[in-house]
């Protein structure tokens, strides 16, 4: 029961508290300094040398029924960020699909804040840009978001990795993401309660997500063959996929999905769990490949199976750390969005701290990006150190032992 309570707190506190207290947060804004009716929330620019392209790919698993709608085959939308041709001038893609974010993520519409009082700036990625060709292949990183989150909520991490020569493939887990729009205009919304009991998470959601990830990886393998008849990728992208170097990372339930996918599929060489539990058979059986675990400062997972200091059944490198000053949603783009909403007077300072902690937002994003990049560079032989030495070399004061 304690574990279940911790899970509910970690996943539901931001969404529930924001919806319930947004009105109070707005009321606390000074009447002498009204919010700009056209506040634009911006993404930090990627730090790598490569321009970034992004595309969306609809996929249908003909061999699997959707567990939430058994009358249909399992359908997914994946979002792919990749190194792009520098000469491509395609338009910048939206940061996230328009609509739904204000109403569902922050409850601002219900609190009386007009839905047009703020907007997300475009991303730094060019929509369907031609992929970079003739300079070798790039490692693939699957990404699984948290429960109720869309793939676009980790754009700051994905764009940065792509700018450093990675192909990031994020999975919108249909009927778990708060809204997934398909090419025919149909929108599938979440049917999974945020306070779902632990047995549903471990026995239904994680296996479904693992099957999603393995299917997406199968489709990427198929896309590398000339006879592939599936949805088309942007020019040169199929040729750029290095299917011998596959990693995965995920936030919250996506972190649990990452660990279990590694356990079930040896093609995934390394993973990063961003403040998620360890659920499923991997908790008892461990891994034989490296897993970096970054927890928030108030994470409920410390001491639970898989998060203990010495995972007895694990033979791979295990790096469990926590990031001082963070909260559960700090490992998503909410670390970028929330401070800017607060600075504009749309959310109170107390609500901001409750959502993403007292850590400086820029510092938090920089630290996350540097850890992800350094770790995967070490795993895939792009640096001269092993994963454990690489993380130690970062030697940042915010990176603390997980206990």
- Sorted by where each begins, the domain ranges of the chain are 2-401
pLDDT, mean over the chain:
82
Instruction: Give the mean model confidence (pLDDT) for residues 340-358.
Output: 88
Give the residues across from 76 on adjacent strands. Answer: 59
| pLDDT reading at 281 higher than 60 | yes
Secondary structure class of 145 (helix, strand, coil):
coil
pLDDT at residue 225 in the model: 60
Q: If we measure between CA atoms, which residue out of 140, 199, 200 comes closest to residue 171?
A: 140
Residue 98: pLDDT band with limits 50, 70, 90: low
The pLDDT of 372-388, averaged and rounded, is 89
pLDDT for 253 equals 94
Question: What's this model's pTM, rounded to 2 decimal places?
Answer: 0.88
Element containing residue 66 per DSSP (H, E): strand 52-66
Residue the block writes with tokens 């919010």: 35
pLDDT of 16 above 60 = no
pLDDT of residue 38: 64
Query: Which residues make beta-bridge pairs with 140?
Result: 167, 246
CB 294 within 8 A of CB 168: no
Tens of pLDDT, residues 99-134: 444 444 544 444 444 556 778 899 999 999 999 887
Q: What span, in angstroms and rounded, lies between the C-alpha atoms of 347 and 28?
A: 8
Are β-strands 291-296 and 268-274 bridged in parallel, bridged antiparallel, or unpaired?
A: parallel
Nearest-10 Cα torsion for 273, 277, 282, 285: 110
Read off the pLDDT band of 392 (50, 70, 90).
confident
The token pair at 319 is 């790096």
Span 189-193, average pLDDT:
80
Tens-digit pLDDT profile for residues 45-87? 999 999 999 999 999 999 999 998 999 999 999 999 999 998 8
Q: What is the model's pLDDT at position 100?
A: 46
CATH architecture for segment(s) 2-401? 3-Layer(aba) Sandwich (3.40)
Give Cβ neighbours of residue 42 (< 8 Å, ≥ 6 apart): 121, 336, 340
Residue 105's pLDDT is what?
Answer: 52
pLDDT for 112: 43
**Distance separating alpha carbons of residues 337 and 364, to the nearest angstrom:** 13
């Amino acid at each position: 029961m304690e574990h279940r309570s911790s899970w509910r707190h970690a996943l539901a506190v931001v969404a529930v508290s924001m919806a319930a207290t947004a009105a109070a947060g707005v009321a606390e804004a000074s009447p002498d300094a009204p919010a700009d009716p056209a506040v634009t929330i911006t993404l930090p620019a990627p730090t790598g040398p490569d321009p970034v392209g992004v595309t969306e790919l609809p996929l249908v698993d003909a061999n699997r029924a959707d567990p939430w709608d058994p009358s249909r085959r399992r359908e997914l939308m994946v979002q792919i960020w990749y190194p792009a041709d520098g000469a491509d001038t395609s338009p910048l893609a939206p940061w996230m699909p328009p609509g739904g974010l204000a109403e569902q993520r922050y409850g601002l519409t219900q609190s009386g804040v007009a839905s047009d009082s703020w907007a997300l700036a475009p991303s730094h990625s060019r929509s369907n840009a031609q992929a970079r060709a003739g300079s070798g292949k790039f490692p693939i990183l699957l990404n699984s978001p948290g429960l109720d989150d869309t793939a676009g909520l980790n754009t700051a991490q994905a764009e940065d990795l792509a700018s450093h020569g990675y192909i990031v493939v994020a999975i919108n887990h249909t009927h778990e993401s708060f809204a997934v729009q398909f090419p025919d205009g149909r929108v599938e919304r979440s049917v999974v309660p945020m306070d779902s009991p632990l047995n549903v998470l471990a026995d239904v959601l994680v296996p479904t997500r693992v099957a999603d990830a393995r299917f997406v990886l199968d489709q990427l393998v198929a896309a590398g063959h000339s006879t592939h008849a599936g949805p088309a990728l942007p020019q040169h992208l199929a040729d750029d996929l290095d299917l011998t170097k596959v990693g995965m990372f995920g936030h919250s339930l996506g972190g649990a999905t990452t660990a279990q996918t590694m356990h079930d599929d040896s093609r995934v060489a390394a993973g990063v769990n961003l403040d998620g539990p360890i659920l499923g058979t991997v908790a008892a059986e461990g891994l034989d490949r490296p897993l970096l675990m970054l927890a928030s400062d108030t994470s409920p997972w410390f001491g639970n199976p898989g998060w203990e200091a010495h995972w007895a059944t694990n033979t791979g490198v295990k790096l469990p750390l926590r990031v001082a000053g963070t909260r559960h949603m700090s490992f998503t783009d909410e670390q970028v969005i929330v401070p800017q909403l607060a600075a504009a007077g749309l959310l109170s300072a107390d609500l901001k701290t409750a959502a993403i902690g007292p850590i400086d937002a820029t510092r938090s994003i920089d630290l996350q990006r540097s850890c992800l990049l350094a770790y995967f560079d070490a795993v895939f032989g792009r640096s001269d150190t092993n994963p454990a030495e690489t993380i130690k070399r970062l030697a940042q004061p915010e990176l603390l032992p997980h206990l």
